[in-house]
Amino acid sequence: MRASLSVFTVALFLVNNVYARQSVHRRALLIGINDYTASRLNARPATLPPMDRDWPNLSGAVNDVNAIREMLVLLYGFDRDDIVTLTDQAATRDAILKTLEQHLVDTAGKDDVVFFYYAGHGSQRRNSLSDERDKLDESLVPADSRAGAEDIRDKELRTFFNRILDRGARLTVMLDNCHSGSGARGLGTGARPRGVRPDLRDVADRVTGPKPESRGALVLTATDEVGTAWETRDREGKFHGTFSWAWMRAMREAANDEPASETFLRAQTRMRAETPYQEPVISGNADVRMSPFLGSRADRGGDRTLVGIERIQSDGTIIIQGGWASGLTVGSELRDPATNTRLTITALRGITECEARTLPPGATPRPGALFEVAAWAPPPIHPLRVWAPQMTRTIKDIASIAHSLQEEASLHKVRWVADPIETTPAHLLRWSGKEWELVNDGSEVERVGQDSAAIAAVAKLAPGSTLFVQLPAPAALVEAIASEGVEQAAGPEGADYVLAGRFSGRHLSFAWLRPAVKKSDRRKTGMPLQTAWIAEHGNDNRLRHIAPLLHDAILGLRKIHAWHLLESPPGERFPYQLAVRRARDGELAKADSIIGGEKYELVLRVTSLPLPARVPQRYVYAFVIDGSGKSTLLFPPNGSVENRFPASPSPTEIALGDEGAFIATVPYGVDTYFLLSTDEPLPNPWILEWDGVRTAEARTPLEQLLLDTTSHTRSGLLATPSRWCITKTQYESLPSHTPKVAK
């Protein structure tokens, strides 16, 4: 009977998916350009653009296209034949517009799902007749731009997109590019953004039309109209667009039928933890934002992730159709709900496949059988990546060259910047490990040479310009602050934090700084922008004093980093998030700020309406991590209060009452409030609090995972059988005399 039921379940699932694919057509055009050399393309001499625009090659755009294509097939039921990709020099202006016309516009029908994706450089084109204030149209830069092809302006794309909407199709547009070639902000790294300088030749085009997002399209952009989009690396070291990589992980984690606005929030939360200087944008009316991204997922049966056995190799290895994109990890366990046969994942084979074996070894299941996730193993803890440039010199020697550089800057009226996060410098002089480099405008790196050449380079800077000299640390200091869970990055562009030295008040001081951030970014992220500057006074013996302080600071950053990147089992969703309410008048904390000395209460608020018909009860725990890495358990305060929610019928708001009350105290700054919801209680809730006083001991796999996250160690594979998820909310705590700052 069980075998018959399994066959029936598989057949029904496959029939439903085939029917869904046939009843709604899904088509996509994916464009990714790394190669802007135009080396194999014919030039258009009559229309060659200004050469000062610059077209640096990118590294992650084609990776983005390849990964998203696989996810569209596996997660959303797209047929491979209905996905057209244009990459590198194939993505010319004419090819993009022709394919857009033929593949997306001409074939669109009522209720069809249409997806347009672009990863590459963005820019702007002057248009004196534009209805925009700055008289600049945003644009995509095709592969033949260097050969003379014009950018594809947003107003041109608007015409095509509106024709798709006229046919009644459901259009989603995703753009991972920026509209400016400038990357100057905070401590520059030399990384190149996904943007080139504007084309200032006047196109004088009065063509207008309604914006697609006002007519029912969902538009997702990596940044706003004047923002900068960047690239990053995944765990395997492959480059991706920062927004695309965050979005792919959000797709992977999304619950079945999750609103696009929540999927966007997942991606935004990741970006704020990793790259707070880039702010993505979602546009569309309420209906489209509350609808699932690209419709319901094809790999889900209800709220369960279902994966099928593709084939069984001669050595007994089971190949699963479903891998990273489906949320599977090495160590995760799968179960056939009909036969109770269990598998364990032994290896991932790219995005859409993985290997498994039976657990325990026994009868081999047949190809085509469907399995659901029974226990999920979190991926390895991501190390905190730092860049710590060093010199084989003493502190006295480094201070001497710093003094010479400062005198040269003063002589030529170059403004000496003491803190690049407070004031973004136009120029950054840094030691690469072998020589001095000058970073201009945050991204253009110029090799300078040794000390005398560095002094000469400062003399050539324009009077009135700003300069930050990022001084290296003595090699002995760098060796002394090494820590488990902290990894040396190859350069500043791949680092979460940079060890920077400065010369101020005739003394050296050192701090850990987040690269490419400025002071206003502090409210976008729970990761501190910098640690305190720790000064020395010209005596190498002081290394014994400052090394422990820098070491402790990086340990605190490592803890915060690990918690911000902690992944929940994909597909898990608790429809409430944590909010803070002022106790004396019941007002929600405004501008994400709480005031010192005030009493506040915690509340659970529904993330989006309508609520699911049935919300399973879960045990909830709330804790806060401050900027030093200290965690405080807020609810339940004594580990014994009733903390299972919601009651039936499910309310839109749940007040945690006096048990969840707290008073904001020092240290002030941006704190992250975590909400953990789980279907099994934590026998030892003090796992969530660490301050050197209590000693926590894990009693369940989930508790062990949480304890390992704090210590940044994870021994072996740890599968958590309970259903759980963790969400984060940031608030800035301010002294009582500080006025609230509006966003």
Least confident of 140-144, 252-256, 444-448: 252-256
**Is the pLDDT higher at 712 or at 99?**
99
Is it the case that residue 209 has pLDDT exceeding 60? yes
CB hemisphere CA count around 155 (13 angstroms): 18
Q: Mean pLDDT, to the nearest integer, of 50-66? A: 90
**Is the pLDDT higher at 717 or at 671?**
671
Q: Distance (Å, rounded) from C-alpha 154 to C-alpha 219? A: 12
Output the pLDDT for position 22: 52
Q: Distance (Å, rounded) from C-alpha 68 to C-alpha 252? A: 11
Output the pLDDT for position 273: 83
Angle between helices 543-564 and 701-711 (to 10 degrees): 150
Q: Distance (Å, rounded) from C-alpha 208 to C-alpha 496? A: 43
* pLDDT tens-digit map of 430-462: 999 999 999 998 778 999 999 999 999 999 999
Q: Mean pLDDT, to the nearest integer, of 699-716? A: 83
Is it the case that residue 596 has pLDDT exceeding 50? yes
Q: Distance (Å, rounded) from C-alpha 563 to C-alpha 560? A: 5
Residue 257 sits at φ, ψ, to 5 deg, of 60, 25
Least confident of 57-61, 121-125, 685-689, 718-722: 718-722
Q: Mean pLDDT, to the nearest integer, of 92-110? A: 97
Least confident of 193-207, 474-488, 593-607, 728-742: 728-742
Strands 507-513 and 497-504: antiparallel
**Banded pLDDT at 10 (limits 50, 70, 90):** very low
Output the pLDDT for position 530: 95
Q: What is the chain's Cα-based Rg?
A: 27
Output the pLDDT for position 339: 85
* Ranges 184-193, 529-538, 682-691, most confident: 682-691
Is it the case that residue 419 has pLDDT exceeding 90? yes
* Ranges 84-98, 196-210, 234-248, 697-711, most confident: 84-98
Output the pLDDT for position 225: 79
Angle between helices 242-253 and 260-274 (to 10 degrees): 130
* Ranges 6-15, 117-126, 691-700, most confident: 117-126
Output the pLDDT for position 485: 87
Output the pLDDT for position 140: 97
Is it the case that residue 7 has pLDDT exceeding 70? no
* pLDDT tens-digit map of 151-174: 999 999 999 999 999 999 999 999
**Banded pLDDT at 182 (limits 50, 70, 90):** low
Q: Mean pLDDT, to the nearest integer, of 639-660? A: 86
Q: Distance (Å, rounded) from C-alpha 335 to C-alpha 568? A: 19
Output the pLDDT for position 738: 56
Give yes or no for a contact between 424 and 184, defined as CB atoms under 8 angstroms apart.
Answer: yes
Residues forming beta bridges with residue 312, ordered by sequence position: 318
Q: What is the DSSP letter of 687?
A: G
| Element spanning 707, H or E | helix 701-711
**Banded pLDDT at 47 (limits 50, 70, 90):** low
Q: Mean pLDDT, to the nearest integer, of 491-520? A: 92
Residues 6+ apart with CB under 8 A from 208: 131, 155
Q: Is the peptide bond before 637 cis (omega within 30 degrees of 0)?
A: no
Output the pLDDT for position 743: 43
Q: Please report the DSSP string for 1-60 in residue order.
A: -HHHHHHHHHHHHHHHHHHHHHHS-EEEEEEE------TTS---GGGPPPGGG-----SS
* pLDDT tens-digit map of 120-138: 999 999 999 988 888 999 9
Q: Please report the DSSP string for 379-444 in residue order.
A: PPPPPEEEE--EESS-HHHHHHHHHHHHHHHHHTT-EE-S-TTTS--SEEEEE-SSSEEEEETTTE
* pLDDT tens-digit map of 321-370: 988 999 999 999 999 988 888 999 999 998 899 999 998 777 778 888 99
Mean pLDDT of the chain: 88
Q: Distance (Å, rounded) from C-alpha 304 to C-alpha 585? A: 42
* pLDDT tens-digit map of 285-312: 999 999 999 998 887 766 677 889 999 9
